[in-house]
Structures are given as structure tokens and as C-alpha cells.
Amino acid sequence: MESTRARDVQYQGVFILPMKSPTYHALSRQTFSRRSLLKSSSAGFGWLAFAGLAQANRMPSTTAKAKNIIFCFMDGGPSHVDTFDPKPMLAKHQGEKIGEAAVTIRSQSDANRVWLGSPWQFRQRGQSGLWVSDLLPRIAEIADQLCVVRSLVGELPLHGQQNLLLHTGRILGQAPSMGAWVNYGLGSENSNLPGYVVLNNDWVPNGGLENFGSSYLPASHQATMIRAAGTPVDHIVPTLPEALQKRMLAILEEQDRQYAQSVSDPRAVEGAIANYETAFRMQSELPQIVDISMEPDHIHQLYGVDSQDEHQRLYATQALRARRLVEAGVRFVEITCPSFDGNNSPWDQHGQLKINHEKNARITEQSVAALIIDLAQRGLLDETIVLWAGEMGRTPHTPSVHEGCGRDHHVNGYSIFMAGGGFRQGFAYGQTDDFGNSVVENPLDIHDIHATILHQMGIDHQSLTFRHGGRDQRLTDVHGRVVEELTQR
């Protein structure tokens, strides 16, 4: 048992006070350990929750190839036929009607739409000869690091449902996000930091905050948000006098204890208690991690922090913070894209495909490539999975071909990539038909991707479960397989 004088338990620099005391001042000087706090508060439910979580983090696992994940979320759906899946037949037949045979419920399609060729040239890159278009010149330079999946199939061509599917494995949500599951299964390597961080840009994607939530898992596993601009995290530095904060925390603790005794399932209350403690510990380390000013100039230039484009500069800042967070032991980091036109699906180009896909690429791809390069030169890429994915692809056809035309929603076959973490390098898996309209070889769904990523993290996706609703829930539900063809032998 730890000494009850081991350290003070604080939240935002505030002592959390025991409630039974002869005088306020005497108790304000009392210190106690985390274990004694959890045993004494909320009728002892805190200790039970802590013990349960500790056991969860000792779940049986496979041999881990990776320790951390950085998810570069390309919200809105980058076009697969303009990035990693070359289709010369589109240019050859541009303007011709697609016909009834090409119509699918997994795409915004009808027989009168016409094929649209890519405005970007595809080239084979690196020693591997991996096909990457000129839309992504920096990523093309690191093609030999990429494991591209060209045969992902979704469920519905709708942003909200596909975002939730990508993040939670369910088109309806109401389930923990992948980051929450990884945090639940493995925890953070650094007790001073949360295990799951979202580097956000002050907007919420379609599907809402459920994309980053913990749902029925303890609340301590949901994402901690860090902003790109302004104050990274609210209240990371105390703003009220210490005496006032002590009183506020004492009231909160008393309310939490009373409420926990009145409910049948106190786990949400216990999650709040855990979050208070994490918030305190974050004060000692997070401000230094998110401050990138001490990084050398050549690293700023590599990521694009010195860009004149505000959106590129913000994304570069978050990408550099992602590296610093995994270096510090954060298990799962997600980076969202800045919205340059008020659209909360930045890659969603129903019109102006060339102009706005190029702007999205300019904002993000230098930093993504820099992140992979930087991780590799620091010896961290082997143990870090970088996932680049949107929730969907885009139609290889359009209502009519004109200068400002675009592509619509398409989940009948699209592309993502992984780098590092034991995934194959310079490799493409799966294939769509000659027009990029449907998968004809090695179809995968997001459950397969989730299962394979968990496998690389040392987790059996069938064993990572949580009892809820009368059955053992898991990220992959009743689906998913480990795609060994994607991993290094």
C-alpha cells in the first residue's frame, strides 16, 4: 500500500479535500494517495473501477509490432481515382454515360452520369513502383514507406454514417471510437498524459463527437481535445485563487459521492474522477509538449510550420505535436483537417474538384510526409502506425464534365494507406475495376482494417471486449479479420 503522504491529489492545481474533517484548514493540509482517495470517495466505487481498469489493461495480447497510432483523418473523402488508384480508362471514356451496369447503392450514381478522368498525372514512385498521382508530390516521395489498400468497401455513401463506421465500427455510432478501445486495452505509456488525444481544429465532423467518444467504456478513455490555434487546452493553467478552487473541488467531490451512491452504475462518475486526476497531471507535462517553439528551424520547415498559408501552418503544428505526443507516450493520436471554406468535410468536393482537392493536399500532405520521415529518422516509425484515411472515396463519374465539376460520394471501393508499425512497405493491396467504380479483387471493410491495426498493436480484436447490453462488445463487433497480407513477414 502506498504511503498516505505519497503525494497531493490535485485538479488544475487544487487539493481535493476529504469531506469528513473537524476544520477546513486542518484538512486542506492533509495529503493522501490515489488508492486511498478512490477507496474513500464515492462509497468506494472508485477503487473498484480502478481495479477493473487495471485488470483490463492486462488483457491477453498477441506479439506487438507497434506501440502507438497516429491517425491522419482526411475528412470528407479524398478521391481514390485521383490519389492512389490510376484509371486511364476514365480519361479515354470521359464524357460517356456510365450506364445501368455501373449504378450502385454504395455510390451517388445514375445511368446518365458520365465518366470523369483525373486532372492529375499518375506516376510509379520509388523503388517499389507504387502508383501515386501528382496531387500528392510529397507523399509520392515516400511511396516506398506506404502500404496502400485500394479495395476498401463501405456501407452507406453518407458522411455521418461513414465517419462513425470509420471511427467506431458502427454506422449508427453509440459505440466507443477506435482510439477509446486502444486506450482501454493498453492505456497510456505516460501517467501524466491521456492515452487518446485528438488534435482538432475547432469544428466537429459529421457524426458528431461520438467519433471521438468512449460511449459505454469508462469516460476516462474518451479523447482529450487539443486545439490548433489559440489556447491548446482550456484551464491547463489555474486561473482562480487556490483557496476558491479548493472550495469548488470540495463541493464537487461531495456531489460526486452522493450521486454515485444514488445510481445503479457509478462508472460515469468514476470516469469523471479519473479525468479530474488526469487533468491535474497534464499540467506538469502537456504545456511543454504542445509548445513546438523549441523545435529546430529545419523541423519547422520540414513540416511546413513556416508556411504563409494559415491552414497549412495549423495542420503542420498539429502534425508536429502528434510526433511529440507519441514520443511522450500517448497511445493514440488523431489529427483532423482544417476547414478552409466552412465545410466540416474538407475533402468533400462535389464541385471545383481540381481547385479544392489541390488546396486540401497543399494544406496536409507535406506535413503527413514530414511526420513519416521524422518518425523514421528518430527510430519511431517501426513502432508507430500512421493511418491516412477518409471515410469514403469519390465517384469516378459526374453529372456533366465542365471546368468546375466535381465528384460525389462513393463507398463501393476506395483507398487508404498505412505506414510504419510493421505494415508492408511500397505495397498496394486489392483492386477496383477499370473505372475505379467497384472492387474486383481482395475487398476489405473497416472491420478488417481495425482488426489488423489492433493485431499490430498486440491486441486480439476478438479478445478486446467490454460487457454491455447483455453481451461482450468489441470494436469489430462480430466482423473483421487480420489481413496478414498487409503486414511484414
- DSSP letters of 290-301? H--TTS-HHHHH
| Angle value at C-alpha 123, between 118 and 124, nearest 5 degrees | 140
pLDDT > 60? residue 22: no
Task: Name the more confident of 282 and 56.
Answer: 282
Whole-model pTM: value is 0.86
358, 359, 363, 369 alpha-carbon torsion, rounded to 10°: 0
Residue 6 lies in a domain: no
Is 413 a domain residue? yes
Mean pLDDT within 325-337: 97
C-alpha cell at 61: 495480447
pLDDT value at position 242?
Answer: 63
Q: Is residue 468 part of a domain?
A: no
Q: Which domain holds residue 128?
A: 68-227+283-438
Q: Which range is least confidently modeled, 42-56, 63-77, 116-130, 393-407?
A: 42-56
Q: Is residue 12 part of a domain?
A: no
CB 155 within 8 A of CB 171: yes
Q: Is residue 258 part of a domain?
A: no
Overall number of domains in the chain: 1
The tens digit of pLDDT for each residue in 57-70 reads 445 456 899 999 99
Residue 90 belongs to some domain of the structure = yes
Over residues 188-197, the mean pLDDT reads 93
User: Does residue 484 fall inside a structural domain?
Assistant: no
Each residue's pLDDT tens digit, 244-253:
867 877 787 7
**Are the C-beta atoms of 111 and 98 separated by less than 8 Å?**
yes
Structure confidence by residue, pLDDT tens digits, 235-283: 777 677 767 867 877 787 788 878 878 887 777 777 776 776 777 677 7
- 483 found inside a domain: no
Q: Percentage of the chain surpassing pLDDT 90?
A: 72
CATH number at residue 191: 3.40.720.10
